[in-house]
Amino acid sequence: MEDETVTPEGLPKRTGNNLDPWYHHYAARAAGLSASEVRALFAVASRPEVVSLAGGMPFVSALPDEFVMGSLERVMRERGPVALQYGSGQGTESIREHILEIMAIEGIEATLDNLVVTTGSQQALDLVAKLFLDPGDVVLAEAPSYVGALGVFRSYEAETVHMAVDEHGLVPAALQETIDRLTAEGRRIKLLYTIPNFQNPSGVTMSAERRAEVLQICRANEILVVEDNPYGLLWFDRPAPDAIRSLDEDGVIYLGSFSKTLAPGFRVGWALAPHAIREKLILANESAILSPSVFSQLVIAEYLEQVDWRTQIDTFRGLYRERKEAMLEALEDHLPELSWTNPNGGFFVWLDLPPELDSKAMLPRAVRELVAYTPGTAFFDDGGGRHNIRLSFCYPTPESIRLGVRRLANVVGGELDLLTTFAGTGSLQFDDRVRRTSTPPSNLA
Amino acid sequence: MEDETVTPEGLPKRTGNNLDPWYHHYAARAAGLSASEVRALFAVASRPEVVSLAGGMPFVSALPDEFVMGSLERVMRERGPVALQYGSGQGTESIREHILEIMAIEGIEATLDNLVVTTGSQQALDLVAKLFLDPGDVVLAEAPSYVGALGVFRSYEAETVHMAVDEHGLVPAALQETIDRLTAEGRRIKLLYTIPNFQNPSGVTMSAERRAEVLQICRANEILVVEDNPYGLLWFDRPAPDAIRSLDEDGVIYLGSFSKTLAPGFRVGWALAPHAIREKLILANESAILSPSVFSQLVIAEYLEQVDWRTQIDTFRGLYRERKEAMLEALEDHLPELSWTNPNGGFFVWLDLPPELDSKAMLPRAVRELVAYTPGTAFFDDGGGRHNIRLSFCYPTPESIRLGVRRLANVVGGELDLLTTFAGTGSLQFDDRVRRTSTPPSNLA
């Protein structure tokens, strides 16, 4: 008879399951790390024949061919041993000086000392969550909100509660009402997470008045504001209002990034934090990665020093504006019965589907018809977004965007035909559907 | 009368303290993030006149002047838009292929699929801790162990329990005894964290027999082994035994790094994990940083492709061997009454002080006499290490090492003189002290 407590090699067996011997060993927070249900599909969607309106990749090919070579050469020639070495957990002084200059464009006054450089602003967000979120804590966020932030909050066992947004951004009355309700329930609200400029995924920008109101409500309720601003400089017709951080030094952690205005391949972002918090952020950064890449920081600082980066950002602006216009025109041409947002910057348009259609259920058909998008459900922590789609115009060319939207219109039309056929009575009127799309859940005019 | 609930600007006041308005808002785990008590002193110790035997910085100046320039140019010329873009959360295929080749040197057979690239191996350790450690969990580790690992475990509210080490590494009987004791106490042991090669800080290498014994005990008790191996290829007289991971694919997470064998400035390390775990590691990586730097990965892969990196590692070996010998000779010349380890690789020597001396209390005097070291207390989570010092020979030249050890001997002598003077009776014999240094706590022959 075989001994069932040992392996064929005579080693002790573990009690996990066949798929994962360590199944019972994970921390509770690991349950929050689940793969997106559409992940496998996106692997298929990366084939060249598929027009992807799904990703948020900046169009780095618009950078001049030799753009970083000069900076690379100078850094290696003049500061090689420093660039290759460990650095400080706070980041190099030269890059922090440039970051101050960049943030000043949006009205922010700050000191070098309160800046912490991170591996992209995603890591800054992870550190803030690690520092503040206990299991069961609440983070307030826009409805919808950035999928990568929702994942971070879940990974620390916090819950995201979404609040209504209109064309001026987060609705202050909804914020106050949510705070009152959660407080009455005894919930502990730690953070307000907001992307005030050209929000991911809705494309909406918070008005200057709203910024002041939201800040005032958060102060009164002792809620720390996390202002995530990767797209701020990429406006189309007029600059976004000054950053929320420009109104309050002690109540806001501001997150910034070089990933959208320069290149994500270097993985350099930052947090500007109230003084006492920034000390803890540095410790958390050192614990997580020892120090951000000195090499990346020096190359970016050298680039900012030597190159006319404002003009380069203008180039990006023009490029993305053109692509947004191509997308909106194509939507008007091919899906005139639907509604969508008209962003003044950034990468994304938010589309309302007829409420009969489920954006996640429709995705396999879309990929089969060679167009990919991100279903709205990715941007809600509460099951919302089923009748929404995020469309990205940042990466594909205007021609591809037009082709992609045409294919999407075919998919939507096909799904509606199917519903009409199976509804049998034929009583489903297209006009009814249009009216219903202009109501919540997303309420993005 | 002033309204004490508002600020002079009329904004609502917060209830924190004057130093930190958010004092009451941090997560419980933030308490684990405390600055090292010797941090401020190390800032002083970075002045050029101080000989620092404290840091663990590799001597990157030994890399050929133009060593990365060729790789940088090729990457930008041939794969620029890829290098500058976001990448996969698992890492590029080309660098993972090279990592397999490197790990094969230490007997590891693995597939590309089970490798995850991270922002240095520090981040891999952080992700493993995040994935497995609930508050109150126990991590077993060598006494002493790597300060950066202890910090990570604390930051997830886990406790590190240290176990005795001798000249062959972790003592299996101590491991078994510790497991039995903690299990009887109802504690949950999640991980064994070990640095089997040229350990940081002790310099000790675990023998091949011990590796098998330790693995067997961990398997029998369902404890996952985390094998941290940044120094393995940097041996002096003979290679270290094969990695623990070479003995067991399902029970070991292996952490590796380019920081010591190439350059830390790129921040590229990796985890090789059992299949089911690696999927969760990728998700955790994406949550924390989206993707590791594609630019850094491509540059390193290109370097490994084009350059004879084995010869470069030989150069590092010769350099560090020479520095270790300089350190040991200087210790014999100036502190013959003390005992220390004789590492066969890596960066560190572990020194036993006379038990009357407190290594942390002595540090300010040392810095005043222009030599810095790391007090042994940094490497214990339980208050141990007061009579130990970690000396690094990786960064200073042999001449600086000799000067530093001479200064250290002056400091030790001065402290002992002081004790003798104040002891009054003069009964404290130096020979007594010598005998006592050869006994535990550290027990590193």
CA atoms within 13 A on the CB side of A118: 32
Query: Is the distance from CB of A344 to CB of A429 less than 8 angstroms?
Result: no
From B65, B130, B289, residue closest to A120, measured CB to CB: B289
Directed axis angle between helix B69-83 and helix A69-83, to 10°? 120
Tell me the pLDDT tens digit for each residue of A209-264.
999 999 999 999 999 999 999 999 999 999 999 999 999 999 999 999 999 999 99
Question: A441 preceded by cis ω (within 30°)?
Answer: yes
The candidate with the shortest Cα–Cα distance to A203, out of A61, A345, A299, is A345
The candidate with the shortest Cα–Cα distance to B251, out of A9, A288, A30, A34, is A9
Taking the C-alpha atoms of residue A227 and residue A230, their distance in angstroms, rounded to an integer, is 10
C-beta atoms of A27 and B134 within 8 A:
yes
**What are the structural domains of chain B?**
39-62+311-437 (3.90.1150.10), 69-306 (3.40.640.10)
Quote the pLDDT of residue B434.
35
Q: Please list every residue in chain B whose beta carbon sits closer than 8 Å to the beta carbon of residue A26.
A: 131-132, 280
Tell me the pLDDT tens digit for each residue of A30-59.
998 877 766 766 777 778 899 999 989 999
Quote the pLDDT of residue A222.
96
As given in the structure block, the two tokens for residue B132 are: 């497995």
Q: Please list every residue in chain A whose beta carbon sits closer than 8 Å to the beta carbon of residue B274.
A: 20-22
pLDDT at A337 over 80: yes
Q: Please list every residue in chain A whose beta carbon sits closer than 8 Å to the beta carbon of residue B290.
A: 120, 122, 148, 264, 267
Which chain B residue has the Cα nearest residue A218? B12
Own/partner pairs, A332-336, CB within 8 angstroms, 24+ separation: A333/A405, A334/A405, A334/A406, A334/A408, A334/A409, A335/A405, A335/A408, A335/A409, A335/A412
Q: Which residues of A109-147 are buried (b: 16+ CB within 10 A; e: fewer)?
A: ebeeebbbbbbbbbbbbbbbbbbbbbeebbbbbbbbbbb
pLDDT at A439 over 80: no
Helix (H, G, I), strand (E, B) or coil at A226: strand
CA atoms within 13 A on the CB side of B72: 21
pLDDT at A196 over 50: yes
Strand pairing report for B371-372 and B51-52? parallel
Q: For this complex, say whether ipTM is above 0.85.
A: yes
Taking the C-alpha atoms of residue B42 and residue A241, their distance in angstroms, rounded to an integer, is 43
Taking the C-alpha atoms of residue A394 and residue A348, their distance in angstroms, rounded to an integer, is 8
pLDDT at A266 over 80: yes
CA atoms B202, B204, B210, B212: torsion sign: positive
Q: Which residues of B424-445 are buried (b: 16+ CB within 10 A; e: fewer)?
A: eeeeeeeeebeeebeeebbbbe
From A22, A86, A219, residue closest to B274, measured CB to CB: A22
Query: Is the distance from CB of A255 to CB of A270 less than 8 angstroms?
Result: yes
Q: Hey, how many other C-beta atoms are within 10 angstroms of the C-beta on B25?
A: 23
Q: Please list every residue in chain B whose beta carbon sits closer than 8 Å to the beta carbon of residue A119.
A: 119, 123, 267, 288-289, 292-293
Taking the C-alpha atoms of residue A226 and residue A235, their distance in angstroms, rounded to an integer, is 21
Tell me the pLDDT tens digit for each residue of A115-143.
999 999 999 999 999 999 999 999 999 99
Quote the pLDDT of residue A38.
67
Tokens 């941290």 — which residue? Answer: B228
Band of residue A12 on the pLDDT scale cut at 50, 70, 90: low
Taking the C-alpha atoms of residue B253 and residue A223, their distance in angstroms, rounded to an integer, is 39
Q: Please list every residue in chain B whose beta carbon sits closer than 8 Å to the beta carbon of residue A248.
A: 11
pLDDT at A428 over 90: no
Is the Cβ of B70 closer than 8 Å to some Cβ of chain A?
no
Query: Is the distance from CB of B28 to CB of A134 less than 8 angstroms?
Result: yes
Q: Please report the residues numbered 278 through 307 in chain A whose beta carbons come closer than 8 angstroms to any beta carbon of chain B.
A: 279-280, 283-284, 286-296
Measure the CA angle with vertex A246, ends A244 and A252; round to 5°: 55
The candidate with the shortest Cα–Cα distance to A273, out of A256, A249, A292, is A249
pLDDT at A3 over 90: no
Question: Order of strands, edge to edge, in the sheet holding B189-194?
Answer: B115-118, B269-272, B252-257, B224-228, B189-194, B138-142, B159-163
From B26, B216, B286, residue closest to A132, measured CB to CB: B26
Is the Cβ of B333 closer than 8 Å to some Cβ of chain A?
no
* Averaged pLDDT score across all residues of chain A: 91
Is the Cβ of B276 closer than 8 Å to some Cβ of chain A?
yes
Q: Please list every residue in chain B whose beta carbon sits closer than 8 Å to the beta carbon of residue A33.
A: 131, 280, 283-284, 287
Secondary structure letter of residue A11 according to DSSP: P
C-beta atoms of A120 and B290 within 8 A:
yes
From B259, B283, B288, residue closest to A126, measured CB to CB: B288
Query: Is the distance from CB of A122 to CB of A344 less than 8 angstroms?
Result: no
pLDDT at A440 over 50: no
Q: Hey, how many other C-beta atoms are within 10 angstroms of the C-beta on B10?
A: 8
Q: Please report the residues numbered 235 through 274 in chain B whose beta carbons come closer than 8 angstroms to any beta carbon of chain A.
A: 248, 250-251, 259, 263-267, 274
The DSSP H or E segment spanning A73 is helix A69-83
Q: Which residues of B331-370 are buried (b: 16+ CB within 10 A; e: fewer)?
A: beebbeebbbbebbbbbbbbbbbbebbebbebbeebbebb
Q: Please report the residues numbered 115 through 134 in chain A whose beta carbons come closer than 8 angstroms to any beta carbon of chain B.
A: 119-120, 122-123, 126, 130-134
CA atoms A225, A230, A232, A233: torsion sign: positive
From B68, B224, B250, residue closest to A25, measured CB to CB: B224
For A236, phi then psi, to 5°, come to -105, -60
C-beta atoms of A287 and B151 within 8 A:
yes
Secondary structure letter of residue B235 according to DSSP: B
Distance from CA of A412 to the nearest CA of B (A): 30
Mean pLDDT over A140-151 rounds to: 96
From A30, A220, A224, residue closest to B22, measured CB to CB: A224
Higher per-residue pLDDT: A394 or A444: A394
Own/partner pairs, A38-45, CB within 8 angstroms, 24+ separation: A38/A360, A38/A363, A38/A374, A38/A375, A38/A378, A41/A363, A41/A364, A41/A367, A41/A372, A42/A372, A44/A367, A45/A367, A45/A372
> One digit per residue, pLDDT tens: chain B, 445 residues?
445 566 656 666 666 776 888 989 999 999 988 777 667 667 777 788 999 999 899 999 998 867 778 888 899 889 999 999 999 999 999 999 999 999 999 999 999 999 999 999 999 999 999 999 999 999 999 999 999 999 999 999 999 999 999 999 999 999 999 999 999 999 999 999 999 999 999 999 999 999 999 999 999 999 999 999 999 999 999 999 999 999 999 999 999 999 999 999 999 999 999 999 999 999 999 999 999 999 999 999 999 998 899 999 999 999 999 999 999 999 999 999 999 999 999 999 999 999 999 999 999 999 999 999 999 999 999 999 999 999 999 999 999 999 999 999 999 999 999 888 877 554 444 443 333 333 333 333 3
Quote the pLDDT of residue A72.
87
